[in-house]
Amino acid sequence: MRNVYVLGTGMVKFGRYPEKTVPELGGEAALIALKDAGIAIKDVEMFASGNLYQSNAMVGQRILQQIGQTGIPVINVANACATGSTAFREAFMAVASGMYDVTMAVGVEQMGKQGLLGGAGGGDPAYATEGKLGSGLMPAVFGQAGIEHMRKYGTKLEHFAKISVKSHKHATKNPFSQYRNEVSLEDVMNARMVAYPNTLYMCCPTGDGAAAAILCSEEKLKQFAGGRKRPKVAASVLTSDPYTDRDLTLPDVSTLTRRASKKAYEIAGVGAKDMALTELHDCFATAELVHYENLGLCGDGGAGEFIDKKGGMHPSLGGFSPVNVSGGLLSKGHPLGATGVANICEVVWHLTQDDRAKDRQVPNAKAGQAHVIGLGSACTIHVLTI
């Protein structure tokens, strides 16, 4: 396997764009990434497109109709919330294998004010939890994960609320975030309950967005980068759940992340302590808390203490092991197909001291990771180093 580098990135501000189409949003992010990389579409040899809600509509080809059709192979990817990051991994594998030297991944989604998401598997009774306990809707699924952590370790509602406060504070420094408003602990605790313990401010918003990344071989890096710092993709891991006796009332949101994390650290030759920043899949505050432990940022049962000591908070705010300095999904938004690539963009910007992250720059960032899960199941972890 060859070394692979992120040559350029592009992202549009997450929000709502009813006047634009999915290909237009994806094309906008792609053009920004091409300019950042200093190349033209004719230099790209393979294109991977991640989109969930139009997954049967040849979104990748339609994006190229916006930015230039050169006859290259196009892969359209749908993999739940890990859709965009899986497209990135396809672009990575294409270069790492030696088949191509320059590839592009775009993640894009247009969700508007779409309602709460249902559970995995559609109406398949093997997956559906509706009628057994609670609900198959995502706020309830991740609410159950939070309650189980409370039961096992004595975690308090305040711990989940502190995550929301932290993420909203981070978002004030991110112009790409859908929401940039601070909230107090009382705001979060007293907000409308969606699915206990997740109140409104502990749930990510829906919306529209697009992000793009261009990957290249070491040889092409020397040709195109012009001496600019560009991060190496030190590990790219994709997992799904192994077989277990299913618990239909308590979906497992942790095992696939733990397996992916262990493998990613081994491949990259680093550990959790080496991560200058982590962009993880905080679809709900309860999810962020359990992933602190799943990614090894603290020990099992230690997430509450980690939070109380300002773990996950930006160093400028007195924190350590910063998590979701972008504002995370809780503030930035979660247009499903775009999220995975957007998380990678954020890590890249900190490693390269890009102006797009200057107001929230994590100092001395040499390694970072981007994590996404999709129930059903898929988990990607990408470790990047400089």
Has 298 been annotated as catalytic? no
Region of 233 please: left (phi>0), alpha (psi -120 to 50) or beta.
beta
- Burial of 132-158, coded b for 16+ CB within 10 Å and e otherwise, reads eebbbbbbbbbbbbbbbbbeebebebb
How many other CB atoms sit within 10 Å of the CB of residue 240?
15
Residue owning tokens 């962009």: 279
Candidates 91, 96, 65; CA nearest to 77 is: 91
Q: State the Cα angle at 120 between 117 and 126, rounded to 5°.
A: 140
**Active-site position among 81, 203, 204, 345:** 81
Has 81 been annotated as catalytic? yes
What is the distance between the alpha carbons of residues 152 and 82, in angstroms, rounded to a whole number?
28
Three-state secondary structure call for residue 228: coil
Length of the chain: 386
Locate 176 and state its tokens. 């790409």
Residue owning tokens 């189980």: 148
| Alpha-carbon distances, residue 330 vs 19, 183, 295 (angstroms) | 24, 12, 19
Q: DSSP labels for 43-107?
A: G--EEEEE-STTTTS-HHHHHHHHH------EEEE-BTBTHHHHHHHHHHHHHHTTS-SEEEEEE
Which run of H or E residues covers position 293? helix 285-294
**HSE-up of residue 165 (Cα within 13 Å, Cβ side):** 18
**Are 92 and 236 spatial neighbours (Cβ–Cβ below 8 Å)?**
yes
Three-state secondary structure call for residue 202: helix
**Active-site position among 314, 334, 350, 371:** 334
Catalytic residues: 81, 334
